[in-house]
Amino acid sequence: MTHGSAGEAADTRRPAIAPRPGKVVAVHISYASRADQRGRRPTAPSYFLKPSSSVTGSGGTLERPAGTELLSFEGEIALVIGEPAYRVPLERAWEHVGWVTASNDVGVYDLRWADKGSNVRSKGRDGYTPLGPGLIDARTVDPGALRLRTWVNDELVQDDTTAGLIFPLAQFVADLSQHVTLETGDVILTGTPAGASVIVPGDVVEVEVDAPTAGGAPSSGRLRSTVTQGDTPFSDVGSGPKVDDAQRVDAWGSREAAGLDPEPESFRLTDELRDKLRRAPVAGLSAQLRKRGLNNVAIDGLRPNLPDAKLVGTARTLRFVPNREDLFASHGGGYNAQKRAFDAVGEGEVIVIEARGETGSGTLGDILALRARSRGAAGVVTDGGVRDFDAVAGIGLPVFSKGAHPAVLGRKHVPWDADVAVACGGATVLPGDVIVGDADGVIVIPPALVEEVADAALAQEDEDAWVAEQVAAGNPVDGLFPPNAEWRARYDRWRESR
């Protein structure tokens, strides 16, 4: 491999990268763009090993095995260990990185079913870890300002920087060194951003890592590989290739890219339906649900933080469990379930929090409320307390809760899980349920019934308004509320005349 870039002095240290490094460790998901594409964001890095026999240089070939269809590329930044690392702290970890270069974490999705996360069959084949061609001296670059780009047949398909990482590069070194000694020449593949996809025989893949803001703009140069078709079939001594549409979607990046029909459209709260629910009172919706046999849909004991608040949206759930010190230590810090939920909430969604009715600490504060508002959330429902109550109200985000409390989360709760069934204020709430709240309280509506009960509630509102006019005109309630046959006929004539 070459060192540095044109016009830059060669690295005088001896780069200890070889065709057979001692270890190649790869990170599963590390870029936010890839996590968003996959729909899951890890709270800590996870890894798998690639055999050193998979390492190759630039200019080689990538064989798609006979009988497979989903050979994929993943452009990545590779770290080459310069100084051995064992139990190094995060603040010293980058000192143990000798060089940075480009890599391509190649895999066959047809074999993932048999690997169960180990990736031995799918990513361990000879030639499936191209590295190079040049080495960038890690001492000369900011690890937070590296750029990764990938081209397929000269078309740019990946373009991201280390600013888009969920975890900083040095964290991989510090974390791995807690468990194994990273030796000189070991390689860490640091994950791929969005844009990784399927390649076919004849395709040419090129990956480049550079530091555009560093002096001399050092670059790895383009790591070039050409895809070929293998002709040796798998024998029956072990697991062979197998694919389904789920693997095709993962490999290609989307159903559309994989050439698959769109999934059947799931329930969507349209603007028209949202408007109906905003006009329908919670009491009226509750009455309609009761007529349909649903009596346990009220989230009890909550009050809005804003006068005249009306809340309409689909549920995004978050579950807290009672605080236990060891569990809070493992689940309460870092990028915990609470932070993930507020980072993931979508436009028009309502974060519904299970806090077991415990009001002895806050379940959100002004920072998280700001994050929810910036994401376009419709509001928050919690059967616990709210910190920074007035500040949250000032943000303008509707929040239904059991009131204010100044204590932090860890006094009573451990953030445990998100996007699961929760129990909030005595009601079961599933992700995707429709939540409606006003001064009377908050209710949960199953998606299949939303339009039906909204229309019925609005129709009942019209009838009740007419009845109120008759009572105000001096008519007795008996026979009018609810209307008997005579009054019903009068109402029907009135409605038809409108």
pLDDT, tens digit (0-9, with 9 covering 90-100), for 408-434: 888 899 999 999 999 999 999 999 999
Structure tokens at 273: 């339906």
The pLDDT of residue 13 is 44
227 & 329 share domain: no
Last residue of a domain, one of 222, 252, 282: 252
pLDDT exceeds cutoff 70 at 188: yes
In a domain, 467, yes or no: no
pLDDT exceeds cutoff 70 at 294: yes
pLDDT exceeds cutoff 60 at 283: yes
User: Residue 8 — very low, low, confident or very high, per pLDDT cuts 50/70/90?
Assistant: very low
245 & 312 share domain: no
| Domain span holding position 168 | 2-252
User: Residue 128 — very low, low, confident or very high, per pLDDT cuts 50/70/90?
Assistant: very high
pLDDT exceeds cutoff 90 at 124: yes
Percent with pLDDT over 90 in the chain: 75
In a domain, 345, yes or no: yes
CB 368 within 8 A of CB 345: no
Is the pTM higher than 0.75? The answer reads no
Q: How far apart are CA 345 and CA 317, in angstroms?
A: 9
117 & 206 share domain: yes
CB 149 within 8 A of CB 223: no
In a domain, 381, yes or no: yes
The pLDDT of residue 409 is 84
300 & 248 share domain: no
Who's near 478: CB < 8 A, 6+ residues apart? none
Last residue of a domain, one of 199, 224, 252: 252
Highest mean pLDDT among 27-41, 362-376, 451-465: 362-376
Looking at residues 324-342, what average pLDDT do you find?
A: 89
In a domain, 151, yes or no: yes
More confident residue, 9 or 345: 345
302 & 205 share domain: no
8 & 146 share domain: yes
In a domain, 162, yes or no: yes
- Side-chain-side CA neighbours of 143 within 13 Å: the count stands at 25
The distance in angstroms from the start CA to the end CA of the chain is 83
The pLDDT of residue 264 is 65
More confident residue, 223 or 330: 223
Q: Angle 355-361-363 (CA atoms, 0-180°, nearest 5)? A: 50
226 & 323 share domain: no
Q: Which residues fall in the annotated binding site for Mg(2+)?
A: 388
333 & 397 share domain: yes
What's the total number of domains in the chain? 2
209 & 334 share domain: no
Lowest mean pLDDT among 37-41, 119-123, 368-372: 37-41
CB 297 within 8 A of CB 443: yes
**What does the pLDDT look like over 164-185, one tens digit per residue?**
999 999 999 999 999 999 999 9
Average pLDDT, the chain: 91
316 & 398 share domain: yes
Looking at residues 42-50, what average pLDDT do you find?
A: 92
11: domain CATH number? 3.90.850.10
Looking at residues 346-374, what average pLDDT do you find?
A: 94
In a domain, 493, yes or no: no
Q: Taken in order 250, 256, 259, 261, is the CA torsion positive or negative?
A: positive
SS3 of residue 10 by DSSP = coil
Q: How far apart are CA 392 and CA 169, in angstroms?
A: 35
Last residue of a domain, one of 424, 445, 466: 445
169 & 246 share domain: yes
Closest alpha carbon to 150 in 75, 85, 213: 75
375: domain CATH number? 3.50.30.40
Looking at residues 216-230, what average pLDDT do you find?
A: 95
pLDDT exceeds cutoff 80 at 15: no
Q: Which residue has the tokens 């009740």?
A: 464
In a domain, 479, yes or no: no
The pLDDT of residue 484 is 81
Q: Which residues fall in the annotated binding site for substrate?
A: 365-368, 387
In a domain, 211, yes or no: yes
97 & 212 share domain: yes
Q: How far apart are CA 104 and CA 132, in angstroms?
A: 9
pLDDT exceeds cutoff 60 at 14: no
Q: Which residues fall in the annotated binding site?
A: 365-368, 387-388
More confident residue, 110 or 10: 110
